[in-house]
């Protein structure tokens, strides 16, 4: 039975039994605490936590899941895969233990002819929680399972979310794979290769607290009560069931995975099953290519952090595994095509979106192939040096240099070092990475964080219900203050100067969301006026207005007038409409795979991020700008309507990856089919009101993601007016027509460059001519001739090296000599150290000395024993660096280093 058929049978069985079929959510988790969906119940978490009311009593789904916590185990066991599909059925206050057990057993043991999975009862075992007498009774007396195949377990059969909230005992169904896989004794005593868990039934009936009561395995919490309604959450591993029904040994050999493995074996000339190391590599390739395909189909792209790094790590592990199998050519074009064919019957989007997916995959493989060549050479050198000196570890600074300079991932360095029997100083690596992040940390002060505790907001939602947003058709209205908060707590009154948060029964104020900045304005209640400077939606259905009482007194429960700053609203709405136009034009000029990856809509300006593998040419950018403004001239109509999510998709409405949409969605159209997107923002009624859109810049903000920034309306007009004035002034100064200005400026720049090169050459000549003078000024450091030179700015790298070697050559060869040279530049400071043969006999190595030289200049360096070089940020530290290098030489010679 194919995996897609098992998936279909599962959903049809539960749909027949009164469950609503819920499509798989995106792998990009809406939960801010998760990078990726890592369990089948994640999309239902708000219902289990009581944050939202479930729209059904019974539901079923096959949820896409990615887990990478055991990524190093992928390929080594029969159970560890990074992507898998979790079949689940859920009850929200409907059936409980007996219902869950009946459904699971009927599907598992029902004949395949009748739509069941056809497992033999004699092969199945069940575990229950150690104190769950009820569950054992149900399996024994209601289901009729042989009591000898029901076992009680402790912590492994108790489930919680890892936070205070719902929890409860669980019951698991195992299959006995037979004596060839290990000893008998059932799941409690047999080996975990013989008894494989297929289905976990969680009985949510309790509430856990914060503090310790010792359930073990992280369950160091107390049970504080019972849930008012009992819920069911189950998870059946689709790949594990497929392994059994297809009669294969492990999940890498099922129909959705094995063809990828087989293709990798064919390409590399290996035979699967011939050897442990090659088998593991083939499994890694099959697993990671499949996972990469599914992640990218949900909009994840390779990056250096977050979920993008999870993807990048797996793609690069697959590339390296192919190299270790002896295959050096690009492998992804063939492997991803096979993965697509394996998965498209269950997930058609992997085929329809294949062009975009492979654009990123192929670019990542090409980029990493270069990284792998460079990094491997550097790492091999470091490993050889470590073995030569008899150490069993690589320094954290070497690992950091590989990461920072060559883009070599630390996990790959750890893997490759371990293969050579070496460890890596991870503490030092982490310290260096932390220092780098601290230096590069972005200023997040502009981000508006929720001021009150989430629990306070949740109480408001529970007691007050949802806030009504009326801002699509109103900019002012009478509203009642349903709640007033100060310092995160509810209050009844606020006076002049108080910072407050207001919740209204209905509001015309747009809360920040979807890239659109919030409305500002005024709320007048009783004798008080509150200037609103922020509006947020901290929880679904709750709109919170933040501001300061400008005058008078504001009381909870009173009614007043809520008025939006119309000038700001219109400017933001124009920018948001322009963003939709830019999106449509970008896709029109770059292809349908150039989809939105983020946006900012502010008064008079916009920022639009989109996914595309490479830079956008100036010609393409000009074409996008021209197309957008031609739409403005045509004065296209902007309209919005509510429809079902399925209907919106059938109409071709664009949706953002990772966004969570309800059953009903708002569609915004511009000119009918020209632009059609799911959007909750506000817009201009016609695009002619935008006036003009001017694209200012295009840049990279990460691997495969580009950003354009633009001005809209009067902001764009004022910018162009200033630009015109500037061009006119420059043309006046150069005494040429404005259309000849670029040529004249280019000519002037070339002349300046030539003059700078001539000056630099003269400076270098003067410096190089002083080699004999520098050598004569060598300082004696415990028998070593040390020469420290602060060369003037602009000495080229080659000349810096030539000077050091010339000075070194002028010192008699029977005397140890160390020459250190620095030169400031536009980017900071360059430096170089050279040692002669006698110095190296005294164990004075340039590669070590240059590190002492680098530190006071905020830089780093490296190289060989005879010549080493580097660069720094602080040229003012050059003198201190030379002194540090001299001091290091003295310590080395006297044995105190």
683 is in an annotated binding site: yes
Q: Please, are residues 260 and 331 in contact by the beta-carbon 8 Å criterion? A: no
263 CB-near residues (< 8 Å, 6+ apart) = 334, 335, 338
Contacts of 402 (CB under 8 A, 6+ apart): 375, 378, 379, 408, 413
**CA dihedral angle for residue 418, residue 423, residue 426, residue 427, rounded to 10 degrees:** 160
Gap between the terminal Cα atoms of the chain: 69
Q: Cα(848)–Cα(864) distance, rounded to whole angstroms?
A: 9
CA distance 508 to 504: 10
Contacts (Cβ under 8 Å, ≥6 apart) of 555: 481, 484, 492, 493, 525, 526, 528
- Number of H helices and E strands in the chain, helices first, is 25, 35
- DSSP for 67-88 reads --TTGGGTTTSSS--SEEEEEE
- Other CB atoms within a 10 A radius of the CB of residue 644 amount to 12
In degrees and rounded to multiples of 5, residue 596 shows phi and psi of: -65, 140
> From the CB of residue 8, how many other CB atoms can be counted at a distance below 10 Å?
15
Helix (H, G, I), strand (E, B) or coil at 95: coil
Tell me whether residue 724 is annotated as binding. Answer: no
Residue from 853, 861, 822, 818 nearest 836 by CA:
818
DSSP string, 505-555: SEE-PPPSBTTBPPP-EEEEETTEEEEEEEEEEEETTEEEEEEEEEESEEE
The position carrying tokens 């901290």 is 538
Beginning with the edge strand found earlier in the chain, give each strand of the sheet holding 705-712 in spatial order: 596-602, 605-611, 705-712, 693-702
SS3 at position 656: coil
The pair of three-digit structure tokens given for residue 552, joined into one six-digit string: 């008078």
Could you give the angle at which helices 846-854 and 878-894 cross, rounded to 10 degrees?
140
Q: What's the number of CA atoms in the CB half-sphere (13 Å) around residue 206? A: 18
Was 583 annotated as part of a binding site? no
In terms of Cα–Cα distance, which of 68, 22, 63, 575 is closest to 308? Answer: 68
Strands 423-424 and 393-394: parallel
CA 540 from chain centre, in angstroms, equals 24
342 closest CA partner among 280, 297, 400: 297
User: Are the beta carbons of 775 and 807 closer than 8 angstroms?
Assistant: yes
342 assigned binding-site residue: no
Computed on alpha carbons and rounded to an integer, the radius of gyration of the chain in Å comes to 34
Residue 181 DSSP one-character state? G
Q: In whole angstroms, give the CA distance from residue 227 to residue 208.
A: 10
Strands of 557-674, DSSP E: 559-564, 596-602, 605-611, 638-644, 664-670
d(CA 838, CA 38): 61
DSSP code for 830: E
Neighbours of 254 (CB within 10 A): 24
Q: What φ, ψ does residue 860 adopt, rounded to 5°?
A: -150, 160
Q: Which residues are documented as binding site for Zn(2+)? A: 576, 580, 679, 683
Binding residues: 576, 580, 679, 683
């Amino acid at each position: 039975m194919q995996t897609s058929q098992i998936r279909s049978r599962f959903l049809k069985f539960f749909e027949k039994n009164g469950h609503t079929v819920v499509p798989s959510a995106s792998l990009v988790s809406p939960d801010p605490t998760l990078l990726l969906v890592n369990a089948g119940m994640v999309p239902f978490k708000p219902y289990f936590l009581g944050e939202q009311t479930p729209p059904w009593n019974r539901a079923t789904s096959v949820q896409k899941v990615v887990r990478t916590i055991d990524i190093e185990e992928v390929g080594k066991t029969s159970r560890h895969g990074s992507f898998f599909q979790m079949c689940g059925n859920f009850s929200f206050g409907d059936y409980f233990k007996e219902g869950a057990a009946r459904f699971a057993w009927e599907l598992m043991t029902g004949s395949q002819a009748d739509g069941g999975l056809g497992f033999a009862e004699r092969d199945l075992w069940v575990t229950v929680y150690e104190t769950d007498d009820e569950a054992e009774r149900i399996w024994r007396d209601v289901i009729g399972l042989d009591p000898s195949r029901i076992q009680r377990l402790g912590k492994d059969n108790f489930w919680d979310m890892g936070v205070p909230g719902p929890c409860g005992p669980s019951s698991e169904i195992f299959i006995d794979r037979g004596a060839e896989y290990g000893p008998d004794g059932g799941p409690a005593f047999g080996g975990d290769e013989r008894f494989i868990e297929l289905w976990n039934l969680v009985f949510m009936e309790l509430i856990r607290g914060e503090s310790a009561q010792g359930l073990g395995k992280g369950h160091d919490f107390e049970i504080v009560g019972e849930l008012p309604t009992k819920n069911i959450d189950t998870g059946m591993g689709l790949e594990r069931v497929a392994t059994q029904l297809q009669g294969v040994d492990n999940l890498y050999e099922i129909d959705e995975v094995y063809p990828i493995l087989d293709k990798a074996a064919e390409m590399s000339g290996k035979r699967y099953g011939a050897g442990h190391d090659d088998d593991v590599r083939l499994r890694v390739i099959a697993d990671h290519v499949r996972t990469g395909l599914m992640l990218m189909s949900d909009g994840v792209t390779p990056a250096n952090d977050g979920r993008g790094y999870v993807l990048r790590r797996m793609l690069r592990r697959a590339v390296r595994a192919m190299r270790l199998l002896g295959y050096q050519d690009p492998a992804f074009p063939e492997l991803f095509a096979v993965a697509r064919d394996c998965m498209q019957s269950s997930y058609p989007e992997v085929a329809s979106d294949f062009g975009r997916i492979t654009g990123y995959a192929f670019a990542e493989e090409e980029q990493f192939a270069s990284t792998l060549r460079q990094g491997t050479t550097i790492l091999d050198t470091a490993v050889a040096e470590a073995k030569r000196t008899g150490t069993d570890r690589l320094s954290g600074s070497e690992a950091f240099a590989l990461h920072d300079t060559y883009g070599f991932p630390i996990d790959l360095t750890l893997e490759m070092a371990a293969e050579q029997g070496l460890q890596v100083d991870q503490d030092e690596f982490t310290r260096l990475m932390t220092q780098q992040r601290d230096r590069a940390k972005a200023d997040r002060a502009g981000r508006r964080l929720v001021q009150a505790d989430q629990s306070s907001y949740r109480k408001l939602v529970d007691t007050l219900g949802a806030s009504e947003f009326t801002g699509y058709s109103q900019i002012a209205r009478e509203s009642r203050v349903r709640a007033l908060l100060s310092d995160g707590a509810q209050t009844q009154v606020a006076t002049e100067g108080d910072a407050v948060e207001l919740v209204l029964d209905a509001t015309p104020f747009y809360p920040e969301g979807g890239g659109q900045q919030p409305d500002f304005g005024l709320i007048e209640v009783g004798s008080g006026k509150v200037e609103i400077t922020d509006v947020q939606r901290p929880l679904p259905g709750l709109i919170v207005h933040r501001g300061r009482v400008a005058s008078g007194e504001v009381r909870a429960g009173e009614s007043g007038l809520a008025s939006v700053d119309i000038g700001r609203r219109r400017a933001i709405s124009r920018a948001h409409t322009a963003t939709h136009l830019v999106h449509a034009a970008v896709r029109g000029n770059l292809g349908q795979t150039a989809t939105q990856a983020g946006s900012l809509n502010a008064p008079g300006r916009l920022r639009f991020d989109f996914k595309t593998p490479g830079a956008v040419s100036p010609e393409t950018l000009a074409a996008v700008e021209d197309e957008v403004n031609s739409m403005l001239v045509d004065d296209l109509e902007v309209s919005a309507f509510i429809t079902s999510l399925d209907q919106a998709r059938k109409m071709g409405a664009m949706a953002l990856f990772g966004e969570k949409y309800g059953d009903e969605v708002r569609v915004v159209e511009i000119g009918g089919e020209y632009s059609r997107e799911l959007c909750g923002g506000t817009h201009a009624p016609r695009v002619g009101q935008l006036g003009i859109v001017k694209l200012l810049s295009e840049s990279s903000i990460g691997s495969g993601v580009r950003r354009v920034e633009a001005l809209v309306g009067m902001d764009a007009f004022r910018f162009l007016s200033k630009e015109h004035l500037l061009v006119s002034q420059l043309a006046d100064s150069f005494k040429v027509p404005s259309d000849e200005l670029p040529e004249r400026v280019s000519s002037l720049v070339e002349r300046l460059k030539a003059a700078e090169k001539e000056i630099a050459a003269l400076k270098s000549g003067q410096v190089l001519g002083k080699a004999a003078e520098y050598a004569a000024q060598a300082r004696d450091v415990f028998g070593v001739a040390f020469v420290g030179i602060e060369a003037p700015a602009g000495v080229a790298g080659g000349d810096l090296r030539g000077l050091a070697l010339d000075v070194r050559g002028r010192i008699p060869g029977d005397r140890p000599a160390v020459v250190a040279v620095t030169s400031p530049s536009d980017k900071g400071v360059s430096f170089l150290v050279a040692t002669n043969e006698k110095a190296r006999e005294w164990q004075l190595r340039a590669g070590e000395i240059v590190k002492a030289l680098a530190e006071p200049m905020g830089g780093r360096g490296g190289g060989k024993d005879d010549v080493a070089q580097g660069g720094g940020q602080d040229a003012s530290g050059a003198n201190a660096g030379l002194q540090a290098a001299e001091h290091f030489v003295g310590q080395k010679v006297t044995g105190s280093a």
